[in-house]
Chain A
């Protein structure tokens, strides 16, 4: 490498760092006087690409809890280092390496996308760092690949699909048309749905990942005349599908069902009225009636003034879980790994979901709710809890886990 290009690349690095700092991705400065060294937490999440809003929400939910604790979690000062994995497994692995080796973080969190998580988590937990996932819940990490240092505070990936399958079964939909992108998570989703739905599958279509136009699929759905359509199309794909499905005039005859991922409050803002009436499943909603949720939603709205998604709620719960364990060990993490782990396993915190505990594979045992998309008097399209689907639901992989 020539001098000129070395200079050019170091300028580039400086510019990138500058940009990162100005965008607020840097480590949180903490103003509190500290009696003990703060516990370092690496928050490695997805902040760029269109999926970046998920990581943004998980980060903001997490930092909100730190904020509400005055720079502490469970009374123990923490230092949160935020990094962007750019939704790339390689980039995620690199950033994790840096956080663990150079910054010496003792706890990590933030994973949104499962493919990135698979490149980050197994390595991190082998290095004796605790990992608390606020979203990504691939089956591999819940079953055979489970690890004593890995906890998932949100769900196993299949759970919301399973809940919708259970709902469709219980609500008496005789035939359901299934739609998902042609990639592993898409297939897992439909498998999860069919684990609990035993009625007729009127059709099962796998679409291209990133597909924009669903006219062909929608015509096929019209032709199949199912009672309901269940789809798992993350992000923009779901917006496209739902808008087009509504424009085709089908929403009045065919009930729209989907996992909560496809109906978060930010997506609903982009779909608008076309989403009204759709039913989806989630372990959380902003209107769940419990004290912890009330405190969270009020604080989040006051600080960020934007609609709250489940990603923000799970980020907040991840911070609360860490706080409960730090409190139990008096701030010891690597000094008392067994004690910290045992404290995490207890999940001794008031979750925004209400009842919450961990199964033997460190994945949640929790309720799943049916949410209906409604339009409020003020014209906002939002989710409303309209019933409970599962109580104490556990994932299907727990039995494969031996720690």
Chain B
């Protein structure tokens, strides 16, 4: 029964990671841009959701406000900063976007103070639901999984069934050729960047009631998101989905069961510490294994 619960936990983490990494992988794939500040959009989403919810008392309105806010901030940053970085090398991009992280984190502290903001689960979703007899599971986390699945389907429809999606795919597999064939790459870039920011903002806003809404919260999830896009293959949304769920499951199940497994082998005190350490590196081990097997990730979008 514990296994079922832990698998759900893994799925829920995976869904959040997917929302974070979908935008990141598209930006990386289409613009060739390493954006360390992607976690800041996650933070913007959480802060706006917490702030608006605090004002209105409704998390739904908070969520509704967070999405356009994150998108607008993302598109603004694209126009003001990122455009200047597309042609620069990766080190410049890393430096500039690292600077943006500092800017956003300090801005959050200046605007909202150092103490974390309060954001609670809405009344409707505050209880637990018995998914199997004797296995209660937080309703809010189930809702996150549901939203994640809906977003994944919507993204899949957008990318595989619409004209915009076609352009995005074209941009991801060969940027220059898409531009040469007449796609408006500049507008596409702003739009994709905004879309990515919106998804990150959605993840942040949904995470708000579970986590501490605080400055720097985005960086914690950003590293995992980078692991996801490397495993999934840069530029591939499908890869991001598969990798996000895999990373979520491996991380959660590792944390849940590795220390116990180790304790079966050895009873001494080092088992706890070793188990904790091993479960922490489990996803990096996974990344190393995947890269050894498929150096370009699971679903590379560049030929």
Contacts of A182 in B (CB 8 A): 273, 276-277, 280
Q: Which of A204, A217, A219 has the most CB of B within 10 A?
A: A219
How many B residues touch the partner, as a band? 35 or more
A216 to B277, CA, bound (A): 15
Contacts of A219 in B (CB 8 A): 2, 5-6, 9, 256
Whether the Cβ atoms of A215 and B9 lie closer than 8 Å is yes
Q: Which of A50, A217, A223, A243 is within 8 Å of B214, CB to CB? A: A50
Nearest chain B CB to A351 CB, angstrom units: 26
Given contacts A205-B259, A215-B12, A236-B214, contact A50 B276 (CB under 8 A): no
Give me 6 other A-B pairs in contact (C-beta within 8 A), A205-B276, A211-B220, A240-B211 excluded: A50-B215, A212-B217, A219-B5, A222-B5, A269-B118, A271-B118
Contacts of A223 in B (CB 8 A): 2
The 3 closest A-B pairs by CB, nearest first: A236-B212, A215-B9, A239-B212
Whether the Cβ atoms of A216 and B252 lie closer than 8 Å is yes
A207 to B272, CA, bound (A): 10
The B-contacting residues of A in range 200-224, CB under 8 angstroms, are 204-208, 210-213, 215-217, 219-220, 222-223
Contacts of A273 in B (CB 8 A): 120
Binds B, one of A116-124, A140-148, A244-252: A244-252
Report the nearest A residue to B221, measured CB to CB: A212
Residues of B bordering A, CB below 8 Å: 2, 5-6, 9-10, 12-13, 109, 113-118, 120-121, 126-128, 136, 138, 140-141, 207, 209-217, 220-221, 252-253, 255-256, 259, 272-273, 276-277, 280
Report the nearest A residue to B137, measured CB to CB: A248
Given contacts A182-B276, A210-B220, contact A244 B210 (CB under 8 A): yes
Contacts of B221 in A (CB 8 A): 212
Residues of A bordering B, CB below 8 Å: 49-50, 52-53, 56, 182, 187, 204-208, 210-213, 215-217, 219-220, 222-223, 235-237, 239-240, 243-244, 247-249, 266-267, 269-274
Given contacts A206-B272, A273-B120, contact A216 B215 (CB under 8 A): no
Whether the Cβ atoms of A270 and B140 lie closer than 8 Å is no
Contacts of A210 in B (CB 8 A): 220
Report the nearest B residue to A187, measured CB to CB: B273
A168 to B136, CA, bound (A): 27
Q: Which of A206, A213, A217, A266 is within 8 Å of B273, CB to CB? A: A206
Contacts of B113 in A (CB 8 A): 53
Q: Which of B120, B126, B211, B216 has the most CB of A within 10 A?
A: B211
A207 to B213, CA, bound (A): 20
Report the nearest A residue to B128, measured CB to CB: A249
A249 to B128, CA, bound (A): 7
Q: Which of A208, A215, A222, A243 has the most CB of B within 10 A?
A: A215
Contacts of B213 in A (CB 8 A): 270
Report the nearest A residue to B126, measured CB to CB: A247
Contacts of A274 in B (CB 8 A): 120
A274 to B120, CA, bound (A): 9
Whether the Cβ atoms of A243 and B115 lie closer than 8 Å is no
Nearest chain A CB to B264 CB, angstrom units: 15
